[in-house]
Structure 1
Amino acid sequence: MDEPVLLTGAGGRVGRAILTGIDEAYDWRLLDREPVAADALPDGVSDHDVVVADVTDDAAVREAVEGVGAVVHLAGDPRPNAPWDSVLSNNIDGTQTMLEAAVDAGVDRFVFASSNHAVGAYETDDRTPHMYRKDDEFRLNGSELPRPSNLYGVSKAAGETLGRYYHDHHDLSVACVRIGNLTKDHPPKEYERGQAMWLSHRDCAHLFDRCLAADYDYEIVYGISDNDRKYYSIERAREVLGYEPEDNSAEYTFSGEPKEQVEPDSA
């Protein structure tokens, strides 16, 4: 991609994972409501490439998207217990502001950070904890209707629907990534749900890279690593985006270190 990529919410956890993994692959323009820490800036990104603004600020957003080829939209209130006034303003209104500005600026594609919370209510009492275990066959694949587990999840489902609208009416390529449990070291042993939806930093960066590079119209995919335990399917991400995750929560000790490989005894 010859044109810069605008990354909103660049100073957050997902933004840092993306920039750490694929910082040299693109020219970046960063937007965050707070100044981005110097250690999070990719090489070659100057102060001129960093916009300190809120995504609900229409004028600032329109200036930020001018001349970019793609938007990766992470910004918003990330709290699962965020109150309605915050998710409405920061997550729903903010996403619509970004989409409208992207369309008006002639941006080609829009990658939206959705969330596992958009489908959290599928985790019913009769399915858990079995659905978190590797021998259970239940899978969500992105074709199911949203079932949010909280108001934050409602805002992410709304963002997916806004993306569908802007694709259908303005021919914008949109990928919605329902991000699982992003951690640098995978979750502790007793947290079965976290193991099932674990997304490593390396796989996170790779998945968003594929969202920027692949050809697609409108997609909803799950953002998890290739874990033995999983109740989200990553087949659509493999097929359409070319996503090839390298990590698996089963291959790590619960301190976050790779398991020691023991050679079999010689015959």
Structure 2
Amino acid sequence: MDEPVLLTGAGGRVGRAILRGIGDEYDWRLLDREPLTGQDVPAAVDDAETVVADITDEAAVREAMEGVGAVIHLAGDPRPDAPWDSLLRNNIDGTRTVFEAAVDADVETVVFASSNHAVGHYETERAPDLYRTDDDFRLTGEELPRPSNLYGVSKAAGETLGRYYHDEYDRDVVCVRIGNLTKDHPPREYERGQAMWLSHRDCAHLFDCCLTADFDYEIVYGISDNDRKYYSLDRAKEVLGYDPQDNSAEYTFEGEPKDGR
């Protein structure tokens, strides 16, 4: 891709994982509501253009969108218990602002960071069995949302906005329902976290696939290839070419790789 990639929410956990993994693969335009520090931006993207702006600032987002080849939209309020006024302003109105700016700037590809919370209530009647290797229940991305909190509602709304802008304006949209990206090894404390673990390496690779693959509108799950999982990776593998390298089963409970790996 010759044009830069706009990365909103660049200073967040997912943004940092992406930049540390594939920062030297693209030219970046980094947008965040706070100035980015050395902890946020790895050396590979020291010279990237940065924009300090709120995602709800339509003029700033439109200006940031000019001349880019694709956008990865991560910005928003990430708190599962965030109040509705913040979710409406940042996660719904902000996402609409990004899609509108992409249409006006003729940016064809939008990668939207959705969340496991958009489908959290599929677990309600099945937990804890679905977190275990002997359970074959899988969510594929074709199911309707069942949010587990208002944050999940806001992410389901973002997916629906993506569907609308694909159908109405022919944008190529992929929504990534991100699992548990909390650290670069699986959590030891609970089965659910191991089942939906996404390593930093696989996170960067998945978003790289989103920037290079051909697709129309897709919903895929963002987890590593864990033995324990209730999210299917089939669409991500078939459509995007996702080839995850990590598996929570390969780690001990202390978070160290087995056999010294």
TM range (shorter): over 0.9
Structure-2-length-normalised TM-score: 0.97
SS in 2 for 1:75: coil
Whether the aligned pair in 1 keeps the contact of 2:166 and 2:173 (CA below 8 Å) is yes
Which residue identity lines up with residue 51 of structure 1 in the other structure?
V
Distance, in Å, in 1 between the alignment partners of 2:220 and 2:213 is 13
Q: Using the alignment, how far apart are the partners of 2:47 and 2:39 within structure 1? A: 12
CA distance in 2, matches of 1:92, 1:141: 24
Match of 1:265?
Answer: none
Show the counterpart of 2:47: 46
Aligned-pair CA distance for 1:207: 0.2
Aligned to 1:116: 116
Give the 3-state SS of the residue equivalent to 1:215 in structure 2. coil
Offset at 1:141? 0.3
CA distance in 2, matches of 1:117, 1:136: 21
In 2, distance between residues paired with 1:29 and 1:152?
27
**Structure 2: how far apart are the matches of 1:231 and 1:121?**
13
The structural deviation recorded for 1:184 is 1.3
Closer/same/farther in 2, CA of residues 45 and 3 from structure 1, 3 Å limit: farther
Write the letter of the residue equivalent to 1:46.
D
Match of 1:107 in 2: 107
Is 1:132 the counterpart of 2:131? The answer is: yes
Given residue 7 of structure 1, which amino acid in structure 2 is its aligned partner?
L
Deviates more, 1:2-11 or 1:179-188: 179-188
Q: Does 1:8 align with 2:20?
A: no
Is the CA contact 1:216–1:240 (under 8 Å) kept in the aligned structure 2?
A: yes
The CA RMSD measured in Å over matched residues stands at 1.2
CA positional deviation for 1:260:
1.3
- Find the residue that maps to 1:29 and give its secondary structure: strand
2:151 is the counterpart of 1:152: yes
Once residues 157 and 127 of structure 2 are traced to their aligned partners in structure 1, the CA distance between those partners, rounded to angstroms, is 26
Task: Work out whether residues 70 and 108 of structure 1, in 8 Å CA contact, stay in contact via their aligned partners in 2.
Answer: yes
Q: CA deviation at 1:261?
A: 6.2
CA distance in 1, matches of 2:47, 2:249: 40
Instruction: Note if 1:25 corresponds to 2:25.
Output: yes
Give the C-alpha shift of residue 46 in structure 1: 3.2
Partner of 1:93: 93
| Structure with the greater alpha carbon radius of gyration | 1
Aligned residue type for 2:106: G
* Cα drift, residue 247 of structure 1: 0.2
**How many angstroms apart in 2 are the aligned matches of 1:181 and 1:187?**
9
Work out whether residues 185 and 255 of structure 1, in 8 Å CA contact, stay in contact via their aligned partners in 2: no
* Structure 1 residue 185, shift from structure 2 partner: 1.9
Q: Identify the residue that residue 72 of structure 1 maps to in structure 2.
A: 72
Within 2, Cα distance between the matches of 1:104 and 1:15?
24
Aligned to 2:57: 57
Query: Which residue number in structure 2 is paired with residue 191 of structure 1?
Result: 190
Task: Give the secondary structure class of the aligned counterpart of 2:56.
Answer: coil
Structure 2 segments unaligned to the other structure (5+ residues): none
Report what 1:242 is aligned to: 241
Alpha-carbon distance, 1:62 to partner = 0.5
Partners of 2:148 and 2:164 in 1: CA distance: 23
Q: Is the 8 A contact 2:138 2:231 kept in 1?
A: yes
Residue 200 of structure 2 corresponds to which residue in structure 1?
Answer: 201
| Paired residue type of 1:3 | E
Q: Are the equivalent residues in 2 in contact too, given 1:28–1:45 (CA < 8 A)?
A: no
Gaps of 5+ in 1: 263-267
Residues 62-102 of structure 1: CA distance to partner in whole angstroms, max 9, x if unpaired?
11000000000000000000010000000000000000001
Q: What's the offset of the Cα at 1:137?
A: 0.7
Query: What displacement does 1:130 show?
Result: 0.2
- Provide the C-alpha distance between the structure 2 equivalents of 1:44 and 1:235, rounded to a whole number of angstroms: 32
- Counterpart AA for 1:82: A
Quote the residue 2:83 is aligned against. Answer: 83
3-state SS of 1:194 partner: helix
Q: Is the 8 A contact 2:23 2:45 kept in 1?
A: no
- TM-score between both structures, scaled by the size of structure 1: 0.95
